[in-house]
Amino acid sequence: MFRCGRYDDQMEAFLVSTGIVALAEMGDKTQLLSLVLAARFRKPWPIVWGILVATLVNHGLAGALGSWVTTQLGPQALRWVLGASFLAMAVWILIPDKLDEEGDKANPRWGVFATTVVAFFIAEMGDKTQIATVMLAAQFQSWFWVVAGTTLGMMLANAPVVWLGEAITRKISLKWVHRISAVVFAILGALAFWGGPLPGSDNPMTSPQAMPTALYSPLTAPQL
């Protein structure tokens, strides 16, 4: 893939993260939680702002973990870890999700905004999109743009549900959305094991510093 500089790397990290999380979030338990909160409170703006705050905090921590992992593993080990993780995600995303009771434990007396923040933060712990954020941050080594992208993906999937409710989910085939997401993750995993250039990596043919079999260019500090 032809590279045009750092700006292209940042935009690639942002756009890929946005697309992957938006797809992965369709039919996820946090999207179901959006429906529950919208039906209970009927106050869309506090719910949307609560989703945004909870996502920024949760994905910010997940992205930091992914960036830290790149400092602990060499390129070869990181390639195998990410490859296995992406393939596992491809299988996991095909499993239908449902809303756990833990995501609905927040006390309504806290107010709509605080209830949404707590409920979404809890629901996101260990969720597909949180794990995807860790892997994407490790892949792109660009904490800010990955977190910005995954947060936008979350908002694109959840905000319309808050306003439009079940009407929007009925018009979308969640089965096909999940299948497309699984294919994307499987391709990323296969590329990782194969050693070819993934989005966010330097092309071995055009970068004199890139190792022919490495997934990325030599590990550097996370870009902001």
CB 140 within 8 A of CB 202: no
Structure pTM?
Answer: 0.69
Question: Which residue, 100, 106, 101, 98, is CA-closest to 47?
Answer: 106
According to the model, what pLDDT value does residue 5 have? 55
According to the model, what pLDDT value does residue 98 have? 58
Q: Each residue of 32-55: pLDDT tens digit?
A: 888 888 878 888 899 999 999 999
According to the model, what pLDDT value does residue 6 have? 73
According to the model, what pLDDT value does residue 216 have? 38
Question: Which residue, 22, 81, 51, is CA-closest to 216?
Answer: 81
Would 217 be classed as within a structural domain?
Answer: no
All residue ranges of the chain with pLDDT < 70 are 1-5, 93, 96-110, 166-174, 176-178, 195-224
According to the model, what pLDDT value does residue 179 have? 77
Would 206 be classed as within a structural domain?
Answer: no
* Structure tokens belonging to residue 69: 């992992």
According to the model, what pLDDT value does residue 91 have? 82
Would 200 be classed as within a structural domain?
Answer: no
According to the model, what pLDDT value does residue 45 have? 92
CB 120 within 8 A of CB 29: no
SS (H, E, C) 29-57: HHHHHHHHHHHHHCCHHHHHHHHHHHHHH
* Structure tokens belonging to residue 64: 């930091």
Would 178 be classed as within a structural domain?
Answer: yes
**Alpha carbon distance 222, 136 (integer Å):** 12
* Structure tokens belonging to residue 151: 């947060």
Would 190 be classed as within a structural domain?
Answer: yes
**Alpha carbon distance 188, 16 (integer Å):** 11
CB 215 within 8 A of CB 198: yes
CB 85 within 8 A of CB 66: no
Residues of the domain holding 36? 6-194
According to the model, what pLDDT value does residue 169 have? 56
According to the model, what pLDDT value does residue 196 have? 53
What's the structural domain count of the chain?
1
Would 199 be classed as within a structural domain?
Answer: no
Would 72 be classed as within a structural domain?
Answer: yes
**Alpha carbon distance 180, 173 (integer Å):** 11
Q: Is 169 exposed, middle or buried, given 0-12, 13-18 or 19+ CB atoms closer than 10 A? A: middle
Would 184 be classed as within a structural domain?
Answer: yes
According to the model, what pLDDT value does residue 166 have? 58
